[in-house]
Amino acid sequence: MSSYSIQEFMEKTERSESPSEVFGLQSERILEVDLTDNVWAKMGTMIGYTGDIKFERERALEHGVERAVKKTFTDEGGELMKASGRGRLFLADQGKRVTILDLGSQQLTVNGNDLLAFEPSIDWDIEFMRKAAGMMAGGLFNITLQGEGKIAVTTYFEPLTLPVTSDQPVFTDPSATVAWSGGLTPEFHTDINYRTFLGKGSGESIQMKFSGDGFVIVQPGFETE
């Protein structure tokens, strides 16, 4: 157990120099946002701020009727909040590792539980993997983001990126799957036999299969039901 004087503790844990861009890391688990207008973030992830910032829950029709209907029937990965004003905003999600990605007009689909924040310049929509209905309780709904700007995603520990090619699909555990690039076609793949029903299977009977050209981001840890 470490022991510090008050001064030593303050020096060790005080906020470091501010990032030079809108999104920056105070540590590998804390996102700092240099807020001058507004930003969208996962509800309940604000851990502190300075300046004059107001927080609003995402309104029912904030992003149009179609998206509101999708959210009603999917209950996607927690609600969004909009932080508006000027100041420094600090975000974190259950101690998970934070990674900042610059989309650069590319498309990325992220598991709703793993999306921490994104700039207002980013366009987004909810994707529903219908073929998975009835196969598993979670991991069916994801958020597709595209445009110019940055997003922040969270992972349990260090993420791993797996390349996908047209002749080499990639299979992943749905709960470990964080995000995938726009050039991929995801589908649920089952490997169920009599041993699965007898309770002697490996536990990996439901998988995600990614085909096309691109990449998949996975994490080495995740919550279990």
**Section 74-89 average pLDDT:** 77
**Rounded distance, CA 163 to CA 200, Å?**
31
Structure tokens at 76: 């996607």
- pLDDT, one tens digit per residue, over 173-225 is 988 999 999 989 888 877 655 444 444 444 456 788 999 999 999 999 776 54
Instruction: Inform me whether the pLDDT recorded for 170 exceeds 70.
Output: yes
Range from 12-26, 40-54, 85-99, 156-170 carrying the lowest mean pLDDT: 12-26
**pLDDT at res. 217:** 95
**pLDDT at res. 197:** 46
Can you give the pTM of this predicted structure?
Answer: 0.79
Structure tokens at 219: 């994490």
Domains parsed from the chain with CATH numbers: 19-218 (3.60.160.10)
In DSSP notation, 190-221 reads: E---HHHHTT-S-S--EEEEEEESEEEEE-SB
**pLDDT at res. 66:** 45
Residue listed under structure tokens 């990605």: 101
